Amino acid sequence: MQVKEFNNDLYVETQINIWLKENKDKKIIDIKYSADQHSSNGLIIYEEDIKSGK
């Protein structure tokens, strides 16, 4: 018997890390993360880089 386990906490944390790597030009204000036994959630609060016009 084989089992492959996916943990919501790891998945959301991975998504946040990927987004941060792909959006280095953003000014991060805050990162919120919460998890319980049923789900996990992440929120990134950021501003666009005014100098680059993005």
Q: Please report which confidence band the pLDDT of residue 16 belongs to, taking 50, 70 and 90 as the band edges.
A: confident
Please state the rounded mean pLDDT for residues 22-30: 90
| Residue 51 φ/ψ, nearest 5 degrees | -65, -40
CB 34 within 8 A of CB 18: no
Q: Please report which confidence band the pLDDT of residue 54 belongs to, taking 50, 70 and 90 as the band edges.
A: low
Alpha carbon 11 to chain centroid, angstroms: 9
